Structure 1
Amino acid sequence: MLDRIPLEAFRVYDAACRFMNFSRAGRELHITQAAVSRRIQGLEEQLGAKLFTRRGRNLALTSEGERLAQRVRATLEYLEESLEPFRGGGFETISIAASGSVSHLWLAKRLKDFDNGNPSVSIRLLTTDAPSELASEANDLVILYSTGEHPRWNLTPLMKEVLVPVASPDFIERNGLDPTTIRPDEITRLDLIDYERFNAHWISFRQWFARLPDPPKARVAPRLSFSTYSLAVDAALRGEGVTLGSIGLIADKLASGALVELGLQRLDTGYGYHLGMPRYRSLTAVGLRLHQHLLSEP
C-alpha cells in the first residue's frame, strides 16, 4: 500500500493533526489550504477510512485517524532523530554502549560531566543487556562485562566485580542488625532481593552463598527478584531488603551511607567491567577524549 501513497501526504497529515486546522498546517508547510485538503482526501481514499470529522468549524480525529496520527508522529520523530548525525553545525557524535545497570548506576553521571565540558559533542548512549549489541562494532566505545579479553575490542579495566550483601540504614535499623558482625547464615533469613542472570557468568545470591568458604546450609529463597540489577539496587535503597552490591557500581551509594555492607564476606568473581575501544579502526579525537575521561573518573 505504501508504494501508492506519496510520503509527503504523511507530513501533511501530521501537520493537520497537530494544528487541527488545514490553513495553519498549510502555512507551516508552505502550501495552500486547498492542497492540504486534497492530500488528506487522497490519503483517506487510499486507506479506505475517514480520518477527520468536521463539527461546525472545528476538526476532530476519528478513532482510525487518532491511531494513525500517533504512529505517523512516532515515525517522523524517529526519522528526525536518525538524521541528527548528518546535520553538521560543528557537532560530532560519539556512540557508546553499556548495560542498563552500568548506564544507570555508573555511566550516566560521567557522561553528563563530559558533556558539560564538551558542548560541541553529541553522545549517543546505547543501553542494552544483549551481548551481541553491546559488542557491536557500530559503537565507538563499549563497556563490557568480561575477564579482559575480546577479539574485536581492546579492553581496559574500569572496575573489578566484587560482590557483597548491602542494605539501607533504615532496613538495618528496623531489623535490629549489626552490619559488622552478621553472619552469612543470618543473611539467608532476611528479605533477599535478587535479579535475573543474563549470562552464565553473572552471580546472584545462590551462587554467591555457594562460593563462600563455609556456605550456609539454609535454602536461599529471595523474596523479590527483578529483571535488572539496577532495579534490585533501587529496591534496596528504598529499604525493601538486602541485595548483592557490586562495589564498583555502587561506590557512591556506599560512600554516602545510602547503602551499607552486611558482614565481612566479599566475593571477587574474577570478572569486571572494561572500557573497550575498537581493535581494528582508529577513534576520532573526541572518542579518545571520552575514553580518557571515563578512565580517569573515580
Structure 2
Amino acid sequence: MPAELTSLVAELETSISRVVLGKSEVVRKCLITLLAGEHLLLEDVPGVGKTLVGKALARSLDGEFCRLQFTPDLLPSDIVGSNVFNNKTHEFVFHRGPIFANIVIADEINRTSPRTQSALLEAMSDNQVSVDGVTHDLPTPFMVIATQNPFEFEGTYPLPESQLDRFLMRISMGYPDRTAERQILETHRRGEPVAELSPVLLCEQIKQLQDAVREIDMNDSVHEYLLDIIEATRDTDDLQVGASTRAAISLYRAAQSFAMIEGRDFVVPDDVKQLAVSVLAHRVIPKGYLHAGQREAVETIVGRIVDEVAVPT
C-alpha cells in the first residue's frame, strides 16, 4: 500500500478524532464506510454524538455538506428537488434539492414517512435521483450518514429491509467512558469544537482512496471464509432470513477498506471477522417476535455464528 495513501487516511482519522473523543472504533467504522463508497446508520439514544460524527467528517473534507432533519411532514421533493416553471423562458427548470452534497446527514430518519424514506433509496443505491422521468447524477464522493433513536416508537416509521440493506453498517455510539466525558466537558467550555475543524482532504483525494480500495487483494482462503459466514447465517435455526449476496459484497468491500486503513494491500481473516456483525446484523431477520431489543439480540446471534465459523490459518 503506497505510503501517501495511508497518510491521507491517517490525517482524516486524526481530524475526526479531535472532536469525537473516546470513540476510536466508531470513527474507524465511519472511515471504512466512506472508503467503501457506502452509507452509515448510527443508532442510539439522543445526545451521545451521532450527528457530531457526521459533522466532523464533513468539515474534514473539502466538499459540500448538508444536514436534513427528517420530520413527518417532509416531502420527497424537499430532499431531491423539483422542477419549477420559469416565466421568462416558459420552461421547467430543475432546482436541486439538498441531497446534492458530498456528505448528507439524515437526522432521525425513522421520523419521516416511508414515501420520503424511499426518496433516499435510489440515491443511496445508484448515486442518482430521478425527477419527472429525468435522471440527475449526484456528486462524487456521496455518503449518507443517517441517525435514529431505537427506543422511540411513537410517531416513527421503522426502516424497511430494502432501505436498511443500503447501509454498509449499522453501529451504536454508546456512552463515553468517564475520562473521555471529562475531556468532552472541557473542550465544550468555550463552544462547539467541530466548528474549528478545517478540511484536510479534497474530494478528489477521497475518490482516489476509494479507487485504491477496490485494488485491495483477498486470497482464496479469505474468500471462502467470508462465504462460510454468509452461508452460516442462512443455515441457522435462529434466523428467518440470512445474509443476501449484497450483504456478502458489502462485507467484502468493508474488509478491503479496513485493510487499507491498517496500511495493508491485502485482506486478512480478522478484517472480515471484526466487521461481520456491524455489516450483517441489520440485514438478517430473526425468528420469533421482533421486540425492542431486536438489535442487541440479532447482533448476539450473528456474533455467535461468526465465532462458530472456522478461521483459516
TM-score (norm 1): 0.22
Larger proportion of helix? 2
Larger proportion of strand? 1
TM-score (norm 2): 0.21
